[in-house]
Amino acid sequence: MSTATVLAEEIHPSLWRASQLARGRGRVVETGYPVLSAELPGGGWPVGALVDLLVQQAGVGELRLLRPALSAAGNRPVAFVQPPHTPDGLGLNYIGLSLDQVLRVNAHKTADALWSAEQILRAGSCGALIFWTQYAQASSLRRLHLAAQSSETLFIMVRPLASAQDASPALLRLALRPSADGLTVDIVKRRGPSRAEPLSIPLQPTPVLLSRHARLSRRSSAEVAARGLQTEVVT
């Protein structure tokens, strides 16, 4: 085999040609949407890495998009850090989760939410972690990405669309916009060539997933201290 025909990943698994999708050797979770999976290295959501979902506002359909991946978590807990509203039991059941399976973390300060997310990733007990935040410093993103690499957790950060202009260590960054039948998805960053045309992802209507008026089970909530400050954890 000549040097010219040697595949980049045969030299080292982290190498890839800019004209081709990387052949990720890490584990991925199937997206459930063939049109999206075909555009992602490895054919799915990367596990053990930071994934950015950039939205105009929280609740545009990010949980419905993640429905197949979250359903694949099995009986492992799924952590919601700083969700914009209270998770609704009926909506969660529709995407294959129960309220008992969901760990909800609400911190008084962003620094405490970041700390909580890092501890969840390092513990490695959750099948998925979804973290909604308006702002995070580049140094914080690097810490979380590093913590994710030591886990088998699907790690999603939901951040404002304007964050697309900022640098991020995320392996995958997608911009989500609502459409008539689901979402329009732009690939902001991937290990492969850029894609100018957005993807159209149809989503089935679901019961409300995050609601200001959602009913939680009447089980008592547990409170844990995050560096001395109270962080509410509801399972």
Question: What pLDDT, on the 0 to 100 scale, is given for residue 222?
Answer: 31
- Angle at CA 30, nearest 5°, toward 25 and 33? 130
pLDDT tens-digit profile, the chain (235 residues): 444 444 444 544 554 454 445 555 578 999 999 999 999 999 999 999 999 999 998 989 999 999 999 988 888 999 999 998 887 788 788 888 888 899 999 998 999 999 999 999 999 999 999 999 999 999 999 999 999 999 999 999 999 999 999 999 999 999 999 998 999 999 999 988 888 899 999 997 766 666 554 444 333 333 333 333 333 333 3
Q: Beta-strand (E) ranges in the chain?
A: 28-29, 45-46, 50-55, 78-81, 86-87, 102-107, 128-132, 154-160, 172-179, 182-189, 199-202, 210-211, 222-226, 229-234
Question: What pLDDT, on the 0 to 100 scale, is given for residue 73?
Answer: 85
| 8 A C-beta contact, residue 82 and residue 57 | no
d(CA 181, CA 117): 32
Its CATH class, for the domain covering 28-234, is alpha beta
Question: What pLDDT, on the 0 to 100 scale, is given for residue 214?
Answer: 47
Helix (H, G, I), strand (E, B) or coil at 39: coil
Provide the whole-model pTM.
0.80
Tokens standing for residue 51:
């994934």
Question: What pLDDT, on the 0 to 100 scale, is given for residue 117?
Answer: 97
Question: What pLDDT, on the 0 to 100 scale, is given for residue 211?
Answer: 59
Question: What pLDDT, on the 0 to 100 scale, is given for residue 160?
Answer: 96
Domain locations in the chain as residue ranges: 28-234
pLDDT tens sequence across 43-93? 999 999 999 999 998 989 999 999 999 988 888 999 999 998 887 788 788
Provide the β-strand partners of residue 146.
none
Residue whose token pair is 């909506």? 91
Provide the β-strand partners of residue 174.
53, 187
Q: Which residues contact 125 (CB under 8 A, 6 or more apart)?
A: 76, 77
Question: What pLDDT, on the 0 to 100 scale, is given for residue 191?
Answer: 86
Cα R_g (the chain), whole angstroms? 18
Question: What pLDDT, on the 0 to 100 scale, is given for residue 24?
Answer: 55
CB count in 10 Å sphere of residue 57: 9
